Structures are given as structure tokens and as C-alpha cells.
Structure 1
Amino acid sequence: MKRLLILAAASATLTACSAQPESSTLAVVEAADALCRPTPNGRDVTGCYVTLTASQADRLISVASPSAGVAEIHEMKTEGGIMKMAELPDGLALPAGEAISLKPGGNHIMLMQVKTPLATGDTVSLTLTFEKAAPLGVRAVVGQPGPTHTRH
């Protein structure tokens, strides 16, 4: 009987100490206002913009699109009075509850090797991959940034 009580107590202790399933603590990321610019004549590159809000601190680590051979997360910054654009190799931090806008003149998604020209009114499928949250499929309309966007 003593042996049975010890086993029951050990089992109860292990159950109480075990981690909760990750699905109950996964971050959720919402996307809004997804937009890609039309491709310039003769060019196969364009920028895409979206506002992301994560329920928990997370990181956008990659982007993919069937419309482009390459999709990267880029930043624009000024160094020595010169605007420079470069990939963010570690992705983009998404603080909990804060709307992070990828927009012209700032962080954005860069599509390269665009397979067919993108025209106003088209849509572009993007798959956003995060460090913690499940991948998110986004449909971006093709058009020019409006008043809520800054110049790129």
C-alpha cells in the first residue's frame, strides 16, 4: 500500500510540474492594410507593406510569395546622409500588442524576381513566417500607397 501511495504522489507531482501545451501560449499575429506596389516597367522588383500586431512578443522571420522568386524583409535607413536599403537577416521584432507598420521609407517587404508584372488591382499572396506564431497567409492588393503610407 505504501508503494502505491508513493507512486501516486510521484505521478501527481510530475503532472503538476509538466509544461502546459504550447498551443495555449502561441502568439497570434494579425495583419492589416496589405499592399504591394505595381512593378515598374521592365523591372522585376517591388515593395510590399502591411501592419502587423502580435498578441505576444514575436518576430517576423521570413516572407514567401508564389509571385516572386525571392521575398525579403528590408529596412530603409540613412547613414551619412545617404538612404540605404538592406535585408534584416534576423527578421523584424514585433512587440506584444504594438502595431508595427511595414511602410514606404521604412521597414518593408521586398519582392524580387517577380514572375509576371504586377498591375494595379492585382492581388499578391504572401506567407509570413514568425518565430512563435503560426505562419500567416496574406492577400495584398496591388496599388499605390495612400495617405496612410509615407513616400518610398
Structure 2
Amino acid sequence: MPSRRSFSLLLPGLLAAAALPAAALAHSYTAGDIAIGHPWSRAAPANGTGAGFMTLRNTGATPDRLVSGQADIARAVEIHTHIQDGGVMRMRPVEGGLAIAPGQEVTLAPGGYHLMLIGLKQPLKQGEQVPVTLVFERAGAVKVDLAVEAAGARGGQHQH
């Protein structure tokens, strides 16, 4: 049986190991001058609709634009936003893509801009990673993995 001293020496390592799943959710990508911070999604059933969220920062001197997306897990991927329509919030596709000005950050988050994963071919399960390809006007295509969080997640479970 380990002594109290040896246990106290092991405790920091055990705590660090327990934190690994949360730290593993913090992930980022780059495409040209676009930095893509923590892409994530919520758990969703097959045949339903999922959503993708992340931050997009243009680190360059030239404007760029997220123009489309693709995912093998979905029939279609569209860029959407929420708008006020007669006092009701409605989702609408973003026509012409999502502009990202030089030095600016655009956040895709619940209640705002987001990717719609339409016609899911399989469920999005909490704890899994879902590959999605983002296509930018200047930076080109980049594959990112959406970290799937709980069905009602608001994005607070991850680190940036």
C-alpha cells in the first residue's frame, strides 16, 4: 500500500491525466491567413440536423470569405445565421458566404452564425470528432474536426 507521501507525489499526475479529455477538446487549424479556433458541434440524431461552431480569425492583410462546407456525415452543409423576422428569430442561409475582414474575428456560435449539417447520415455522438471541410475564397479548403459536445451545450465545455 502506498504511503501518504507517495500518494501526494502521484496526485498531480493523476489530476493532469484526468484533465486530458478537456484539454484534448481545445484544438485549432489554419488555412492560409485564417486561424480556425475550436470547431465543435452538439450531439444530434441521425436523419436530423446538426450544427458547427468555431471562431474564424483573419490574420492577414486581405479579406477572405467562408464560402461553403462539406461533410461526408451530412447530405449538405450550409452557412446560416439567425435573423429577426416579424418578432420571431429564424435561421437563414448566408448568401455569398461569410466575410472575414483583415485582423477581424467572426464567431460561429449558437444563436448566431453557424454551419448547418443537414440530413445527418449517422448521429453526432458526444465525445466523438466529426470531420468537416471548410472552403474559403482565398485560403482554399481545410479539413477540421468538430468536437461533439452534449446536445444542449452552449460551448462552455471547451477551451480556446
* TM-score normalised by structure 2 residue count: 0.71
The aligned counterpart of 1:33 is 38
- The one-letter code sitting in structure 2 at the alignment partner of 1:109 is L
Q: Deviations over 1:15-64 (max 9, x none)?
A: xxxxxxxxxxx952111111111114x65211110101122311100011
1:96 aligns with 2:96: no
The aligned counterpart of 1:147 is 156
**Alpha-carbon distance in structure 1 between the residues aligned to 2:131 and 2:95:** 22
Aligned equivalent of 1:48, options 52, 57, 65: 52
**SS at the partner of 2:67?**
strand
- The one-letter code sitting in structure 2 at the alignment partner of 1:35 is W
1:107 aligns with 2:107: no
The Cα RMSD (Å) is 2.0
Give percent identity, aligned residues only: 33
> Which range moved further: 46-55 or 101-110?
46-55
Aligned equivalent of 2:143, options 118, 134, 137: 137
**Alpha-carbon distance in structure 2 between the residues aligned to 1:91 and 1:134:** 13
- The one-letter code sitting in structure 1 at the alignment partner of 2:40 is L
Contact residue 47 and residue 121 of structure 2 kept, 8 A: no
Describe the shift of the 1:83–1:148 C-alpha distance in structure 2 as closer, same or farther (beyond 3 A): farther
**SS at the partner of 1:109?**
strand
The aligned counterpart of 2:81 is 75
**Alpha-carbon distance in structure 1 between the residues aligned to 2:99 and 2:57:** 11
**Alpha-carbon distance in structure 2 between the residues aligned to 1:32 and 1:70:** 22
1:122 aligns with 2:122: no
**Alpha-carbon distance in structure 2 between the residues aligned to 1:68 and 1:27:** 26
- The one-letter code sitting in structure 2 at the alignment partner of 1:33 is H
**SS at the partner of 1:135?**
strand
**Alpha-carbon distance in structure 1 between the residues aligned to 2:134 and 2:89:** 26
